[in-house]
Amino acid sequence: MKNPWIKNNRIGIILAASFILLTMVLITSLLNQNQLTTRPNLVPLREGPKMTAHEITKLKSGTKLTVLQKDHGWWKVRRGSDDQVGWIASWVANNTTLKTPTRLSEATIVLDPGHGGSDTGALSIDRKHYEKTYTLATARATRDALEETGARVIMVRDSDKVVPLLYIPRSAEKYQADAQISFHFDSSDKNNSASGISQYYYNHNSLGLVKAMNKSLNNLPLENRGYETMPYLVIKDVSRPAVLLELGFINSKKDFRYIRQSSYQQKVAKDIKQGLNSYLGQNN
């Protein structure tokens, strides 16, 4: 015989059961949000939320961690096996393709493809192409090269749009970038009157970065005119290490022949990666 109380309160019982089930699902979900299992092998565990902090140990793949705190992509964690506490780069620990991190894997790099949208930049020697097109193509090639290492890469723009100059340094500050790199192509007053690449910095903490870029970019087929200080807004109003690269004269027939080639853009990307490896290695 059916219980008349159950029959009379069937809807209430169903609602109560549904509420209890939903609550359990939410609690389980919240608990899982604070759990992490490392994917690559030998993930560095550090004393603080930056790649230059002292390394405590390296965590094997499959290490179970509890997340205690988050700070600009760095997570403070506790290892379940011995309650050891430290900081890891979350993008490294969660990387599903990286086998073993390198020093560049823990870095946050902001890439700034100069100009964009209605701000076209300089005009090419054949007067058919804009600087903004090739700064973006070169920055994308650099992003791909850096992401292969596991590095966290922030693109100031990844489409043909205007980005206010004041916004560019804010990206580096927001993500506490280890380096900010701005891409540009030079233009002289008269066509074919100048050729080569240059590097610029402003703040003293960017000197090591610009020197590393200067050395690594010596491998390009265009003459390296060297580096110097320049109060460009994007590298002046930022506390993070920042450089601006002029990667050829777009109104030079010789230079533009390289600038427009994807092979040149990939060569630039490879050399920038090499320069960052050198720079970050010195800092560590």
pLDDT digits (tens, 9 = 90+) for 172-191: 999 999 999 999 999 999 99
Between 136 and 18, the higher pLDDT residue = 136
pTM exceeds cut of 0.75: yes
Fold of 108-283: Aminopeptidase (3.40.630)
Distance of CA 196 to the CA centre of its chain: 27
Q: Mean pLDDT across the chain, nearest whole number?
A: 91
pLDDT tops 90 at residue 27? no
Is-contact 156 135, C-beta < 8 A?
no
Q: Looking at residues 80-87, what average pLDDT do you find?
A: 91
153/177 Cα distance (integer angstroms): 9
Least confidently predicted of 29-38, 84-93, 145-154, 193-202: 29-38
114/220 Cα distance (integer angstroms): 20
Confidence (pLDDT) at 81: 79
pLDDT tops 80 at residue 33? no
**123 SS3 class:** strand
**Dihedrals phi, psi of 126, to nearest 5 degrees:** -90, 0
- What's the CATH number for 35-93? 2.30.30.40
Confidence (pLDDT) at 282: 76
pLDDT confidence bin for 31, thresholds 50/70/90: very low
Domain boundaries, the chain: 4-33, 35-93, 108-283
Confidence (pLDDT) at 28: 44
pLDDT tops 80 at residue 147? yes
Q: Looking at residues 26-43, what average pLDDT do you find?
A: 74
Residues with Cβ < 8 Å from 61, sequence gap 6 or more?
38, 39, 40, 41
Q: What percent of the chain has pLDDT over 70?
A: 88
